[in-house]
Amino acid sequence: MTTTADNRCDEVLVALRRVIRAVGLHSRQLERSHGLTAPQALVLKTLIGLGEASVGTVAERVSLSQATVTDILNRLESRKLVVRARSSRDRRRVIVSATDQAVAIMSRSPPLLQEAFVQRFLALEDWEQTLLISSLQRITALMGVTKLDASPVLAAGVAAHGDEGALPAALEQQSLPDS
């Protein structure tokens, strides 16, 4: 590899580390100041916006698996931040809603890290959005992690709890391509 290629590779890795570090710092700040992990705050914010919803609807809105959202809701319910009730129209369905206490906490919490990103990303031209998506997808392919499920890492890994071992453990479970 040439020096120029080495420098470009280093620039990519530094940028990735900055993103990972920013997510970790923001998550720790949110947890210290409001006692919520980033995924818990995301679920609460979504529930507050919806008023009430099924677990499946919440999972779809936050792009996490239904099992992950159920786990998050269990923790939030134990803290009395959400309540579950049977739907009056279909007794088989469980509807979840945020409590007044959750609304109060979220009104005082800082904006979620991805909110500023979403605003800035949407302000980009279509071609630039597509270029960024393509570049990130290529990076995941180069790292050999295209099939790695990101939701457990977001819910219980480095971003949420500063667990430095979560990503390596997840990578070990991933079948990586032969070099």
For residue 131, what is the domain's CATH number? 1.10.10.10
Is residue 178, in this structure, part of any structural domain at all? no
Give how many domains the chain has, as a whole number. Answer: 1
Is residue 179 one of the residues assigned to a domain? no
Q: For every one of its 179 residues, what pLDDT tens digit does the chain have, with 9 covering 90 and above? A: 678 988 999 999 999 999 989 888 888 888 888 888 888 999 999 999 999 999 999 999 988 889 999 999 999 999 999 999 987 888 888 899 999 999 999 988 878 787 888 899 999 999 999 999 999 999 999 988 888 766 533 433 333 333 333 344 444 444 444 43
Per-residue tokens: 122:
């949407």
Contact by Cβ (8 Å): 50, 59: no
Q: What is the per-residue pLDDT for 103?
A: 94
| CB-based contacts of 76-80 (< 8 A; 24+ apart in sequence) | 76/40, 76/43, 76/44, 76/102, 79/35
Residue 88 carries which DSSP code? Answer: S
DSSP 63: T
Is residue 76 helix, strand or coil?
helix
Q: What is the pLDDT of residue 30?
A: 83
The reply to whether the predicted model has a pTM over 0.85 is no
Please say whether the beta carbons of 153 and 166 come within 8 A: yes
HSE of 8 in the Cβ direction (CA atoms, 13 Å)?
4
50 belongs to a structural domain: yes
pLDDT of residue 128: 97
